[in-house]
Amino acid sequence: MKIEAIVVGPLQVNCYLLICEETGKAAVIDPGADAALILQAVAAADCDVVMIVNTHGHFDHIGANKRIKAATGAELVIHSDDVPFLQQANMHASVYGLTVEDSPMPDRLISEGDLLQVGNLKIDIIHVPGHSPGSVCLHVEQHLIVGDVLFAESIGRTDLPGGDHQLLIRGVREKLLVLPDATVVHPGHGPDTSIGYEKISNPFVSL
């Protein structure tokens, strides 16, 4: 398995390219902007993108959905609770003086406990609402791609529509911090961290 981060857009979103090295199949996770940059990384990796996964529906994580889907034909996947965000992306971006393309509708809806497969990789879906109603984390082997649920020593903001601070904290503590300490956490913005580090160092959710 290989995970490559591509930092995209004015809000510096971590878009991830998740590759099954045995089969060459891949998923693009949170293509927020800069479709050409993402496709350049795909070409350099010489992989076949079969799935686009949105950890949540905020505009800075979905702005390149349309172009990546058009270029790859990949299946678009998101939690049902965040589908309403997809065709409101440009409206939400305009609040920040930005412009993005609205997203196509998803090909598949995911929920807690679902299993996605990319090549030989099996990805467990963990639903952790609070930053947005449909925020999900992707657990694959010793890695956890968390969107804006959890950051290094921080958590996602909860003052946006559908946010719930206590729900987010409870979800992180009950669903994420129970994973092995060595689990590498790949957030939607900023540097990687680990479950073990966040358990003792994150002032919002430390146990």
Which candidate, 116, 121, 104, places its Cα nearest to that of 2? 121
**Partner residues linked to 123 by β-bridges:** 116
Cα separation, 169 vs 206, in Å, equals 10
| 191: pLDDT strictly greater than 90 | yes
Confidence of residue 52 (pLDDT cuts 50, 70, 90): very high
| 47: pLDDT strictly greater than 90 | yes
- Measured CA to CA in angstroms, residue 93 lies from 29, 57, 64, 99, 131 at distances of 19, 12, 13, 6, 17
Tell me what pLDDT residue 59 has: 97
pTM for the full predicted model: 0.97
User: What residue ranges define each of the domains in the chain, with the CATH number in brackets?
Assistant: 2-201 (3.60.15.10)
The share of the chain scoring above pLDDT 70, in percent, equals: 100
Tell me what pLDDT residue 206 has: 86
